[in-house]
């Protein structure tokens, strides 16, 4: 064999060796079950999750395939979607908030699940403890049930004349009972009488609020749920129509015209959840990853809405507000 032919052959072989030694990484699959509807907040949360994954080197369509299901607060649909995602046998599942996590946990006890926006994952039975989850699920908890007392306090600070408060909640949401257990015994401390207002859809929301406003001096407290998220515009419109001072669990409510909110930055939770998805894809187990608690809260007040309701907000309250919308 001539030297030139040998060098050419050797060069070709040398190029082939690295390809054989480093096979292309297989496409990984992630299943997302989101209980809320396709709205601006959901889009922002999912964008934060995808951005977090991208920063860690996981690109949808390149080395991961993301399957997303949005349930719009419909539990029957959510159960169907959870079964669909489990049937795909993904490398990891993501579920948010509590309602989606409950359905997903019923659908599989073996596939890894990362969750976000859960109030009490231990009490709900999703993990054995925060430090050592011990099963197939772990993730990020948004706040404890005790935050409900803050919502009572905030309502009285903003609208001292309110003596009655309707508590709008989803009776199918496992977390609702936890908030109600905290909020009911503390209401008298703020000179408030509570009226429970369970609602699963827009029609029930309307009936609950319209029945409540038959008496004066009322306010509204909206508990976190996929139903509240899916019908946020309707709730805000009903509160405005009946001139109800309303306290919400998340900042997107006052940013869309609601009065005030105190709660966690959910978009930050989704961004942080990407780190746990990354660790699962790299071989770690949910049982070994501690549940992380939120450390970022925000008080948001819509000053324009307050003025429309004829409310004069204390300077001390405005001074500690993270975002004032004018």
Give the whole-angstrom CA distance, residue 155 versus residue 239: 14
**Which pLDDT belongs to residue 250?**
93
**Which pLDDT belongs to residue 13?**
41
Q: What is the mean pLDDT of the chain?
A: 90
- Average pLDDT (263-270) is 90
- For residue 23, being part of any structural domain is answered with no
Residues 179 and 90 grouped into a single domain: no
The tokens describing 88, both together, are: 């795909």
Residues 290 and 189 grouped into a single domain: no
Question: For 152-202, how does the pLDDT look when each residue is reduced to its tens digit (9 = 90+)?
Answer: 999 999 999 999 999 999 998 878 989 999 999 999 999 999 999 999 999
Give the whole-angstrom CA distance, residue 294 versus residue 283: 25
Domain count, the chain: 2
Give the whole-angstrom CA distance, residue 268 versus residue 19: 39
Q: Is the pLDDT of residue 2 over 90?
A: no
**Which pLDDT belongs to residue 266?**
87
Q: Is the pLDDT of residue 93 over 90?
A: yes
Characterize the bridge pairing of strands 260-264 and 297-302: antiparallel
- For residue 14, being part of any structural domain is answered with no
Give the whole-angstrom CA distance, residue 31 versus residue 87: 10
**Which pLDDT belongs to residue 14?**
40
Question: For 14-26, how does the pLDDT look when each residue is reduced to its tens digit (9 = 90+)?
Answer: 444 343 333 456 8
**Which pLDDT belongs to residue 9?**
39
The CATH number of whichever domain residue 104 belongs to comes to 3.40.50.2300
Q: Is the pLDDT of residue 10 over 90?
A: no
- For residue 284, being part of any structural domain is answered with yes
- H helices within the chain, ranges in order? 3-21, 40-55, 75-87, 98-107, 147-158, 176-186, 202-212, 226-230, 232-241, 252-255, 266-281, 303-308, 315-319
Q: What b/e sequence results for 65-88 when a residue is b if at least 16 CB atoms lie within 10 Å of its CB, and e otherwise?
A: ebebbbbbbbbeebbebbeebbee
Residues 175 and 110 grouped into a single domain: no
What is the extent of the structural domain holding 103? 28-143+265-295
């Amino acid at each position: 064999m001539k030297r030139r032919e040998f060098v050419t052959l050797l060069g070709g072989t040398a190029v082939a060796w690295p390809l054989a030694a480093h096979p292309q990484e297989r496409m990984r699959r992630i299943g997302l079950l989101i209980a809320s509807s396709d709205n601006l907040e959901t889009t922002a949360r999912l964008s934060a999750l995808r951005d977090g994954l991208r920063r860690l080197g996981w690109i949808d369509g390149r080395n991961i395939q993301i399957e997303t299901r949005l349930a719009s607060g419909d539990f029957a649909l959510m159960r169907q979607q959870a079964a669909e995602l489990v049937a795909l046998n993904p490398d990891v599942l993501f579920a948010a908030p509590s309602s989606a996590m409950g359905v997903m946990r019923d659908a599989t006890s073996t596939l890894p699940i990362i969750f976000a926006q859960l109030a009490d994952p231990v009490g709900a039975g999703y993990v054995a403890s925060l430090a050592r989850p011990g099963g197939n699920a772990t993730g990020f908890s948004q706040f404890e049930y005790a935050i409900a007392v803050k919502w009572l306090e905030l309502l009285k600070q903003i609208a001292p004349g309110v003596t009655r408060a309707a508590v709008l909640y989803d009776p199918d949401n496992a977390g609702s009972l936890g908030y109600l257990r905290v909020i009911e015994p503390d209401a008298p401390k703020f000179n408030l009488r509570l009226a429970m207002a369970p609602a699963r859809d827009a029609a029930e929301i309307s009936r609950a609020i319209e029945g409540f406003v038959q008496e004066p001096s009322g306010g509204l407290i909206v508990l976190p749920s996929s139903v509240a998220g899916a019908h946020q515009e309707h709730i805000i419109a009903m509160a405005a129509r009946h001139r109800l001072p309303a306290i919400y669990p998340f900042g997107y409510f006052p940013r869309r015209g609601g009065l005030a909110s105190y709660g966690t930055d959910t978009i930050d939770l989704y961004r942080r959840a990407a780190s746990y998805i990354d660790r699962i894809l790299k071989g770690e187990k949910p049982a070994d990853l501690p549940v992380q608690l939120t450390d970022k809260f925000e008080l948001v007040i819509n000053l324009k809405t307050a003025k429309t309701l004829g409310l004069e907000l204390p300077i001390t309250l405005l001074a500690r507000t993270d975002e004032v919308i004018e």
